[in-house]
Structure 1
Amino acid sequence: MKKILGFLLLIMLAACSEKGAVEKLKMNYPSVKKEIEQMSTEVQNKMAAPDFLPFQPKDVQLTYAAEPAGDPKGDILHTEFIYGNEKGSVLHVTTFLNKKATFNDEGEKKTTKLKDGTEVVIEAESSEVMAIRWRKDDVYYGMMLMGSEFKMEDLLKSANSMDY
C-alpha cells in the first residue's frame, strides 16, 4: 500500500512540475484564474508567462484590453500579467494578440538576442526601468521590470524563461 501511495505521489509531483507558467498562475491566484477562464480558448492558448521571476511576487494580476472595452469574449488586443511585491518591484509581461499590432522601429534601437536566437529590442534601460519587446510565432511580447535593484540581465533571464 505504501509503495502504491508513493508511486501516486511521484506521478502527481511530476504532473504539477510540468504545468506551464500560466497554469501555475491560475492555480496560485484565483483572481487570475477567474479572468483567464472568461476569455476564449484561442486567447488562453496564446497567453505566455515566464517561469523565472527576478523577485518573489506578493500579488499577480491579469489585465487586458478588448473591443468592446471590458468584454473578455470580445476582440482581445493584449493581455498583461503584473507581478508585484511589497518593496515596489514590478514586472509587466504583455502579450499583444491583435494581428494588426506593429511597433515603430524608426531610428536606431539597441537590440540583443534571447537564448533561442530571437531578436529583442531594448525599449528602455535605466537605473529604475528596463523594457524589452520581441516577436515570436507572429505574436508580439513585451516585458518591463521596475526596481533599482535589477539589471537588464534579470529581465532577459525572465524573457528566456517564457512559457509560450
Structure 2
Amino acid sequence: MKRILIILFIFLLSACNDNAAVEELKEDYPEIKEVAEQFPESVQEKLAAPTVLPFEPKNVSLTYAGDMPGNPKRDILHTEFIYGDGVGVNLHVTTYHNKNTTWSSDEKTMKTVKLKDGTEALIEGDAINVKQIRWKKDGTYYSIMLIKAPKVEKEYTIDDVVRTANSMEY
C-alpha cells in the first residue's frame, strides 16, 4: 500500500509541474512532440501555450530559431506555436529564450494593456490585419500576434489577443 501511495504521489508531483496546454499539443500533434523533445530541458520547461484562442485551429505547428538539432551548444533564441484556421488567419505565440532579449526603445510611446495577473503588455500592432502584444513575465519575454488575410471578413480586436494571453499556461 505504501508503494502505491509513493508512486501516486510522484505521479501527482510530476503532473503538477507539466504545462497541460503544451502537453495536450504534444499529444494531439506528434510533430510538435518530435520538435519539442529535441530542445534542451531548459527550453522545454519554458514552452508556453494558451488554452483560449480567437478561432478554432485547423492546424498547429511548433517552430524555433536557433542552432540546428545535434549542435551541442543548442542555443534556442525563440520558440513559436503557430495556430492556423485553414482559411487565412494565423496566431503566433512566441516565447523568447535568449537571456539577452530586449524590446525596441520606442516602448514609451506604445499603448499598453493589463493582463489579468497585473502584467503590463505593450500593444505593438493594432492594424486591421495584424494585432500584436508583448510582455515580460518572470524574466521571460512573450509575444502574441494575430495575422489575418485581407479576404477574411471576420474582424479581430486587441481584446481577442489579450484573452489569448490571459489563458497562457507557463
TM-score exceeds 0.5: yes
1:38 aligned counterpart, secondary structure: coil
Amino acid in structure 2 at the alignment position of 1:110? K
* Counterpart position of 1:4: none
| 8 Å CA contact 1:56, 1:85 repeated in 2 | yes
Runs of 4+ residues over 4 Å off in structure 1:
none
Shift of 1:24: 0.6
- Which runs of 5 or more structure 2 residues have no equivalent in the other structure? 1-14, 149-153
AA aligned to 1:109 is: M
How many Å apart are 1:19 and its aligned residue? 6.0
What's 1:156 paired with?
162
Aligned in 2, Cα 1:92/1:75: closer, same or farther, shift over 3 Å?
Answer: same
Q: How far apart in 2 are the matches of 1:64 and 1:33?
A: 13
Does structure 1 residue 85 correspond to structure 2 residue 85?
Answer: yes
Query: Secondary structure of 2:22's partner?
Result: helix
1:71 aligns with 2:61: no
Provide the identity percentage.
51
Equivalent in the alignment of 2:114 = 113
Distance in 1 between the 2:169 and 2:133 partners?
A: 17
Instruction: Tell me which residue corresponds to 2:97.
Output: 97
Offset from partner CA, 1:99-155 (integer Å, 9 cap, x none): 000001325111011011000000000111100000000000000012352111111
Task: Supply the distance in 2 between the matched residues of 1:99 and 1:138 (Cα, whole angstroms).
Answer: 8
Larger displacement relative to structure 2 (124-133 or 144-153): 144-153
Does residue 54 of structure 2 align to residue 49 of structure 1? no
Contact 2:115/2:162 (<8 A) preserved: yes
User: In structure 2, do the counterparts of structure 1 residues 136 and 72 end up closer, same or farther at CA, with 3 Å as the change threshold?
Assistant: farther
What does residue 3 of structure 2 align with? none
2:40 aligns to what? 40
Which position in structure 1 is the counterpart of 2:126? 125
